[in-house]
Structure 1
Amino acid sequence: MATDESATVAILDAGSQFSKVIDRRVRELAVHSEILPLDTPLDVLAKYKALIVSGGPGSVYDAAAPQAADGLFDLDVPLLGICYGMQMMAMHYGCRVEAGEVRQDGVFAIQLASEPICPLFADLASAETTEVLLTHGDSVLEVSEDVRSVAATDEGIVAAIEVRDANKAQFGLQFHPEVDLSVEGMTILRNFLFAVAGVPATYTLTSRKEMAIEYIRGMVSGDDKVLVLVSGGVDSSVCATLVNEALGPERVVCIHVDNGFMRKGESTQVAAALRAVGLELDVIEGAETFYNAHTEVDGVSVGPLNELVNPEAKRKVIGDTFMRITNTKAAELGLDPNAVFLAQGTLRPDLIESASKLANASATASVIKTHHNDTALVRLLRDAGRVVEPLQEYHKDEVRQLGLELGLPEHLISRQPFPGPGLAIRILCAHSAFVPPNAAAIAEVLAGATAETPDYSAAVLPVASVGVQGDGRTYASLVGLFGPVVADDTLATVDAIDWRHVFDLAKSIPKRARGVNRVAYVFGERVANGDAALATITPTLLTPDVIASLQEADAVVNAILGDAGLLTKLSQVPVILFPANFGVDGARCICIRTMVTNDFMTGVPALPGTELMPKAVLAAIVDALLALPNPPARVVYDCTSKPPGTTEWE
């Protein structure tokens, strides 16, 4: 059906992780939208009712920075620039845009200008302030006479602008209104679309189920068969159910690969749960295959997996090995490789974080992490038209709604996400301690951050993790926070900690210390920055003893959370093993990473002392982990929002 541009919003993609989220939010407001490359010609853009320019990982000063068509800001079309889009607008109108001394990554309160109030901020809960997600390095430090600053951070950094020309309806937001962490973001988008641009609310979503089934039948014709990779999570379970309903069970083969990195007893439970809803699974024992697997990256052989420490290399080997096992299974079943398809539960966030061209119209997004379902080998199969991905347009909450529409049981739909590579990416592998190149500068920031609260201290730990800052991937230091300890009483210790202060430190440190993307609280006696115990690790690889250690810890954490009724309240709880040993030979640390989110693109950790993490539950987890036969050197609690830290550490 032809697009009616006069009732449609064009989203110009500058490489943001959130472009598809903008698209989704606009459609939720009953407005039709399309994602287009940033450099789409002006004669095409002039036909649309309104334009939104997304954020992106680049700097407006980079030689390779994505560019819009000349004259974009001269068009007589209402325009909203978000993050990078606002900085482009500010540059065009002569504002001063510079890299700030501090980053802003996380949720911040911004102050709204009045007299008059910007039309984007009409009908907010407060006429003075609102909380938003900021994630950027460059900032608008000074506006020109053509532009009015209509919101700012407490530090005075411009958070929103309005072009003064009354004949132009152009606005810029340094923050991201499209994500859940911007609490009134939908109101702001609604104000732009309806009050400013006058876009008609005439768009109606087609049934998700009907769209998915139509897509599957269009991809797989005749008597061709489909192999479905089923992990047991909600994504792959919904995918398998859709394919089964679209094509019939005689054309569908569901396989579950135990890659050796599953949770304790997970594969047995997965098979039983899916067979109970009518999906017969063929379980493949693949642990040894994965441990010894290689793949090719940029023409170079990488592996075996059990000797790798680079997180991206690990992900690529795991993803490609899944594909090879699938092809082997097809051959065993006598299926024609040219007439068999692979189906998988790839979601929009997977493609976004892998910088897939399916989710990045301008091909300018940064790779945050390669997902096992979007490796180079998967892309080759996709280009050959052999990959069926009925969920590629959806986010996690939408998939859960679709699962309910399909009649899947609530306990299966509400299962916490578990990554395809399994515990392999929850084990940080390393041969030696990670030392940031700017360690002295980080230490200085940490000393300043805790100077006025002597009960608390901060130190750089000898590991790095993956993060997302300013729409780009970072691989940066982990900072540990230390606080009061009540001897031999974990619950009293947890109760003595000022968790709101700890979370404030976790928010402020990454924005002031370049090279830090994650902050976690460390239980136990404090260790001063620079102490020899902070420079030691236990060399760690994906070996059976290490995997078994994390499986035991993960089982302990999930059992306690399950008994407390928290597994259905918390969106996700990765349990991570990392090699810092605090001077204890052979020991490693265990981290609890709680995440609360709706869109799974952004999120916040659960604050201890609230209903999502009662202090007694946290204390019970710490005690149980320290009582394991092979106890961790320390137990830590991740206090980092997403961004700047990703949900998973790798």
Structure 2
Amino acid sequence: MSTHVNGQIESDDDERHAFPAEKRRKESPMTHKVALLDAGAQYGKVIDRRIRDLNVETEMVPLDITATSLVEKGYRAIIISGGPNSVYSSDALIYDPNIFSIGIPILGICYGMQLVNLHFGGTVTKGDVREDGQFTIDVDPDCLLFSGLSKQQNVLLTHGDSVDQVANTFKVIATSGDIVAAIGNDEKHLYGVQFHPEVDLTEKGSEIFRNFLFKIAKCPGNFTMINRQQQCIDNIKQKVRDKKALVLVSGGVDSAVCAALLHKALGSDRVIALHIDNGFMRKNESDDVKISLRKIGLDIEILHSAYHFYTSHTSYPIMLEGIPTRHITDPLVNVYSPEEKRHIIGDTFVRVANEYLKNLGIEPQDIVLAQGTLRPDLIESASKEASSEAHVIKTHHNDTDLVRQLRLQNGIIEPLQDFHKDEVRALGIELGLPPHLINRHPFPGPGLAIRVICADERYVTNEFGETCSLLQYIVDFARAQQRPHAHLTRISGSLSLSEQEFLLTFSAKHTISATLLPIKTVGVQGDRRSYSYVAGLSSDEPPVWEGLFKLAKLIPRICHDVNRVVYVNGPAIVHPVHDITPTTLSNIALSTLREADEIVNSALRDYDCLSKISQAPVVLIPIHFDRGAAMKLPSTRRSIVFRPFVTNDFMTGVAAIPGKHIPEEVVFTIFKNVEKIPGISRVLYDMTSKPPGTTEWE
């Protein structure tokens, strides 16, 4: 029998407490597996994938797995993932303290590092400084974990809690300014890193894992995956059995690969490929989907269902004052919440598909719904398919409550649910799909519906005025030194000396205007969803992209209620923005965005830039600039955001930098042509990395 106190399992089984570590370990057969303890990380399955890439087998298990189980299964090493919780809170996640005394090497990541430190007597506190994005840290190359690496490393940090006092038996092996970035005990083979070695933004992450797995844990590295294509085909045959499969095809690589797998596994006579035009497609999108997929032998039916989607509503479970209930939405055309939009669209896809099958005379029990859901979709939706502890970042249309109910009834098959985007593309090549389809930029299932920021009133919290003031001190840092203020202390306390020096130099040389926009966008900070403000930077000078991007990186560190920073094209913004243009998914809003999207994608094609960036969302926001209070002009116009993005894993990434990832000429051409669209106020360029901002704005 066991209970738990302050996050630790307490057992009345004396054998559980008296672990002769080496003896117990020798008594159990040694395997080559690594146990990945799940603390609710957004990147948990990315860790799993990175370890597999090094030919080491992993198994994801709950954080509260017992030490006895770990020993009995003979794991070679333990990795504790990151997560959204605080290790010091009253509702901290449960774990067995004995895992630290069984002689198995441990690497804690983010939350995992903080747990290691707290367990051995150190302290963890919520700091005044957040770190969200890529940072340069100093590591100790003499430590086994960083063996062979240079002293400075670029890594991804995303956390608000930090190690305060380091546990006595540990030493600091990496720092980010004054913040502890890693701790280690070489003798006990116990380590913790505050950063995320599993993502691409940690440039030497694979080398760090390699050191831990091979130099510290002595893993042999002889694990190889069986053919993943054949594994998918076998899985499809097992789940579909003698039924037919209906695959919803958007035209993107995920659903195309899913459809190709189904055809190969079941044959064309047992696969129905359906493209549902929900009214939120890009210009000529549905026709392009039909042509491109029929070229590769996929016979596809197109269903035009725009009106059905516009007028649809749904319900989904929520907690209301601690009581579980269901929230009933308004019709989609009147909805402002991005989460509600995603729920409605996802559920409506399923209902429209069911109606289509009914018209064909096919009974629900005779068919399985197939969709190209990827691992990142499930992670960001906090699906139990991906993690038992993760927080929702955004609900994906292919992971709504209705879809989850179908999963429980074995009514859905998702052959790609353990894949990431680059793995899907590799599989597409194996299946013989054409390059133009494999390398196509991702387009969300809800389409343009989540690229229209809908609002009926401005988003203003009690901190709006203070954040506006703080932004002015940041962009005017050099001149602000002459008028001492608490904001200066906050800015200095959030930045390293080199970052303060940059801010002094840049703000002395360039005059930048900072405007806080009264709208909110979704972000991911510390494995949690954030709804925060957008900061707009503008100037009468030509944009100095390198400096603006550095500024965009620093602002969310200082202003914790800002998760996105944009460059606003045109002259410096003089008038603050106090209201918004009421916006729904109207025909005017959608046609305006559709035209802007076509201009952007045409320019990227013409300049051969589509292969240089990973994705390029175009977003309509309800902001009308350049209206002073004295003018008494109502807010009637809207603005367009261009968000070119560079990533490999689609879990993290950076905004494309003009002159580096994309030619400046292309950016200025887009600015000029989009500004000609009637009803457009200004064009903005999103400079935000992920984290703190997500790829999409909703």
Q: Which range, TM-score by smaller chain?
A: over 0.9
Show the counterpart of 1:468.
524
- Further displaced range: 5-14 or 470-479: 5-14
Deviations for 1:446-487, whole angstroms, at most 9, x for unmatched residues?
Answer: 1232122151121211111000000000011111011234xx
174, 198, 204: which one aligns with 2:224: 204
Does the 8 Å contact 2:154/2:203 carry over to 1? Answer: yes
In 1, Cα distance between equivalents of 2:552 and 2:345? 32
1:339 Cα deviation (Å)? Answer: 1.7
In 2, Cα distance between equivalents of 1:78 and 1:591? 47
Q: Which amino acid aligns with 1:247?
A: L
Show the counterpart of 2:122.
95
Does the 8 Å contact 2:539/2:573 carry over to 1? Answer: no
Does the 8 Å contact 1:436/1:515 carry over to 2? Answer: no
Show the counterpart of 1:274.
293
Show the counterpart of 1:82.
109
* 1:532-571 to 2 correspondences below 5 Å: 533-571=576-614
164, 167, 183: which one aligns with 1:144: 167
1:613 partnered with 2:662: yes
Does the 8 Å contact 2:140/2:146 carry over to 1? Answer: no
1:96 Cα deviation (Å)? Answer: 2.5
In 2, Cα distance between equivalents of 1:568 and 1:554? 17
1:511 Cα deviation (Å)? Answer: 1.2
Does the 8 Å contact 1:303/1:317 carry over to 2? Answer: no
Does the 8 Å contact 1:436/1:476 carry over to 2? Answer: no
1:108 partnered with 2:124: no
Deviations for 1:367-386, whole angstroms, at most 9, x for unmatched residues?
Answer: 00000000000000011001
In 1, Cα distance between equivalents of 2:114 and 2:311? 47
Does the 8 Å contact 1:441/1:513 carry over to 2? Answer: no
Q: 1:211 to 1:4 in 2, by over 3 A?
A: farther
Q: Which amino acid aligns with 1:527?
A: I
SS at match of 1:481: strand
SS at match of 1:43: helix
Show the counterpart of 2:399.
374
Q: Which amino acid aligns with 1:569?
A: K
In 2, Cα distance between equivalents of 1:196 and 1:459? 50
Q: Which amino acid aligns with 2:520?
A: A
Show the counterpart of 2:38.
13
Does the 8 Å contact 2:342/2:446 carry over to 1? Answer: yes
In 2, Cα distance between equivalents of 1:210 and 1:130? 39
Does the 8 Å contact 1:436/1:477 carry over to 2? Answer: no
* 1:396-407 to 2 correspondences below 5 Å: 396-407=421-432
Show the counterpart of 2:185.
163
Show the counterpart of 1:284.
303
Does the 8 Å contact 1:456/1:481 carry over to 2? Answer: yes
1:132 partnered with 2:175: no
1:515 partnered with 2:561: yes
Deviations for 1:107-129, whole angstroms, at most 9, x for unmatched residues?
Answer: 00001236xx11111112x2x21
SS at match of 2:36: strand
324, 333, 341: which one aligns with 1:306: 333
Show the counterpart of 1:641.
689
Q: Which amino acid aligns with 2:601?
A: N
1:627 Cα deviation (Å)? Answer: 1.7
1:4 Cα deviation (Å)? Answer: 8.0
Q: Which amino acid aligns with 2:676?
A: A
Q: Which amino acid aligns with 2:352?
A: I
Show the counterpart of 1:228.
247
Q: 1:163 to 1:300 in 2, by over 3 A?
A: same
Q: Structure 2: which 5+ runs fail to align?
A: 1-27, 318-325, 479-506, 628-632
SS at match of 2:398: coil
Q: 1:191 to 1:434 in 2, by over 3 A?
A: same
1:455 partnered with 2:511: yes
User: Following TM superposition, where does structure 1 have runs of at least 4 consecutive aligned residues deviating by more than 4 angstroms?
Assistant: none
In 2, Cα distance between equivalents of 1:5 and 1:30? 17
Does the 8 Å contact 2:118/2:167 carry over to 1? Answer: no
SS at match of 1:85: helix
1:91 Cα deviation (Å)? Answer: 0.7
Q: Which amino acid aligns with 1:520?
A: V
382, 391, 395: which one aligns with 1:355: 382
Show the counterpart of 1:488.
none
1:631 Cα deviation (Å)? Answer: 4.5
Deviations for 1:532-557, whole angstroms, at most 9, x for unmatched residues?
Answer: x4112110000111101000000000
SS at match of 1:645: coil
Query: Normalising by structure 1, what TM-score?
Result: 0.94
SS at match of 1:373: helix
Deviations for 1:178-206, whole angstroms, at most 9, x for unmatched residues?
Answer: 00000000000000000000011111111
SS at match of 2:417: coil
Show the counterpart of 1:595.
645
1:83 Cα deviation (Å)? Answer: 0.1
SS at match of 2:654: coil
Show the counterpart of 1:489.
none
1:525 Cα deviation (Å)? Answer: 2.2
In 2, Cα distance between equivalents of 1:38 and 1:441? 40
Does the 8 Å contact 1:181/1:603 carry over to 2? Answer: yes
Does the 8 Å contact 2:566/2:687 carry over to 1? Answer: yes
Show the counterpart of 2:673.
624
* 1:405-554 to 2 correspondences below 5 Å: 405-451=430-476, 452=478, 453=507, 454-485=510-541, 496-528=542-574, 531=575, 533-554=576-597
Query: Normalising by structure 2, what TM-score?
Result: 0.88
In 1, Cα distance between equivalents of 2:33 and 2:415? 25
Q: Structure 1: which 5+ runs fail to align?
A: 486-495
SS at match of 1:600: coil
Q: 1:110 to 1:280 in 2, by over 3 A?
A: same
CA RMSD of aligned residues (A): 1.3
Does the 8 Å contact 1:391/1:399 carry over to 2? Answer: yes
1:75 Cα deviation (Å)? Answer: 2.2
Deviations for 1:237-292, whole angstroms, at most 9, x for unmatched residues?
Answer: 00001001100111111000000000011001100110111111110001000000
Q: 1:389 to 1:4 in 2, by over 3 A?
A: farther
Q: Which amino acid aligns with 1:404?
A: I
In 1, Cα distance between equivalents of 2:30 and 2:646? 37
Q: Which amino acid aligns with 2:455?
A: A
* 1:189-268 to 2 correspondences below 5 Å: 189-222=209-242, 224-268=243-287
In 1, Cα distance between equivalents of 2:680 and 2:655? 22
